[in-house]
Structure 1
Amino acid sequence: MPYLILADDSDIFRAGAARLLMAEEDLRIVMQCKETIRLNRAVDSYPNAIVVVASKLLANSPGLLARIQLNNGRSIVVAEMGEDAKTFLDQGAHGLLYRSASGAMLLDCIRQVCRGEHYVQAADVGASPSDPVGTRVRDGLTPKELKVLSLIMQGCKNREVGLKLKTSEQVIKNYLRGIFDKVGVSDRLELALFTIHHPTLAAAVASVEVA
């Protein structure tokens, strides 16, 4: 059974991905990390592991992908839209996904990398014509609600979202309640899981620019 290390500085994204992966009987998460210090310890403690790591964490740990490879492990980088896949592949990554990737893409990527193959998501892949629910929700959200959702998926708390959007925390809470109602969820974790599972919505959220 492949051992997985899940490393992402976004609590909400990491929790959503973890719940998705824990539902798979053939995969086992041995450690979750949000900081590079814990991630480096995990890599040393679990050689041969598959490390799913956010690109932001790599900025503070140069050489980590090469070290994972030296430990007979494999790495999958979760990149932000606009980042160059070749940069991470040249550093030793075996797989690359963007934040817009669906849950199915994440599982497919992990299983291909486990088999010793490489997996690279094309930068323009994410939205799917067979995602009517995600399309309906995306089209039902206002531009401001999409910005709020984008920041929530990045791990921002309500107060941080308010500061970035130059409004109050209470206004953000009101926006979030509206988003919950439109999506049909009751909390942030369910919202993250819904977004991950619906590539059309995930792609829209990943492409949002927050000034």
Structure 2
Amino acid sequence: MTGPIRIVVADDHPIVRAGIVGLLESAGDLEVVGEASDGEEAVALAESTRPDLVLMDLRMPRLDGAEATARIRASAGDAPRVLVLTTYDTDEHIVAAIEAGASGYLLKAAPQDEILAGIRAVVAGETVLAPSVAAQLVRRVRAEAAAGAGSSAPPPPALSPRELEVLRLVAAGASNPEIARTLFLGEATVKTHLAHAFEKLGVSDRTRAVTRAMELGLL
């Protein structure tokens, strides 16, 4: 990408929003092109400014962040990615945001460098989850798998040991460069393993791959 990453910030608390904007503007490679105080404004700004990313709070007036995310991701053309930045880490909020199409879910209490790294990773096409959020998803999926353990189901797809290693690191919140360093692989090789795993699991992105692998008891 040439030029700064263009971002719309959506948060209904002016002081919090100003702090986020200040953090982003100080990064050097990020540019705030719009500020929204509710979900309706976020959708409108995403349409009018066509940013690379919308940094989305969840509980906002008029239209909540999950519904705003769904509308933004459903828009025609090259829809901007959405990274949720919120204080809420309950199953209800996490699942709603991911199902709406968010590419990441971070908490406002995260270190500033983690938030900035998450923004860059999501714009690069990766999925970013706060560690506590990933843990919540693991617990939820395992509980659902246990509840349905008595039902008959086809055998899970055969993922290779390396594909499983890569998915375990994705579930832990690692980015492609981090996975490559951990497993002593090239980033292109990591992407290839992920593509094969996606195909075998019948999914199209990292979050759904991890969720599906957990449902099948592979992770």
- TM-score, L = length of structure 2: 0.52
Give the corresponding residue for 2:141: none
Q: What's the counterpart of residue 112 of structure 2?
A: 103
Per-residue deviation at 1:90? 1.3
Q: Deviations over 1:32-77 (max 9, x none)?
A: 1112332221011123530001111287246321232234210011
Question: SS where residue 5 of structure 1 aligns?
Answer: strand
Q: How does 1:1-211 map to 2 (within 5 A)?
A: 1-57=4-60, 60-61=63-64, 63-71=67-75, 72-84=79-91, 85-123=94-132
Aligned counterparts of 1:63 and 1:82: Cα–Cα separation in 2 = 17
Q: How many residues align?
A: 125
Asked if structure 1 preserves the Cα contact closer than 8 Å seen for 2:58 and 2:84, the reply is: yes
Is the 2:104–2:122 Cα contact (8 Å) retained in structure 1? Answer: yes
1:83-110 Cα shifts (integer Å, max 9, x gaps): 2223211110001111211211110110
Contact 2:53/2:123, CA 8 A, preserved across alignment: yes
Instruction: Write the distance in 1 (CA, Å) between the matches of 2:133 and 2:67.
Output: 28
Alpha-carbon distance in structure 1 between the residues aligned to 2:128 and 2:119? 8
Unaligned runs of 5+ in 2: 135-219
2:193 match: none
Equivalent position amino acid for 1:88 in 2: A
Which has the bigger relative contact order, CA under 8 A and spacing at least 6? Answer: 1
Are the counterparts in 2 of residues 98 and 123 from structure 1 also a CA contact under 8 Å? no
Tell me the amino acid that sits aligned with residue 86 of structure 1.
V
- What letter corresponds to residue 127 of structure 2 in structure 1? H
SS of the aligned residue for 2:9 comes to strand
Pair 81,37 (structure 1): closer, same or farther in 2 beyond 3 Å: closer
Structure 1 residues 36 and 82, CA, compared in 2 at 3 Å: closer, same or farther? closer
- Aligned amino acid, residue 46 of structure 1: T
Percent of paired sites with the same residue:
25
> Contact 1:6 / 1:51 at 8 angstroms: preserved in 2?
yes
Q: Which runs of 5+ in 1 are unaligned?
A: 126-211
**Aligned partners of 1:50 and 1:73 also within 8 Å:** yes
Residue type of the alignment partner of 1:119: V
Please give the alpha-carbon distance, in whole angstroms, between the structure 2 residues aligned to 1:64 and 1:33. Answer: 11
Conserved 8 A contact 1:81-1:123? no
Q: Which amino acid aligns with 1:110?
A: I
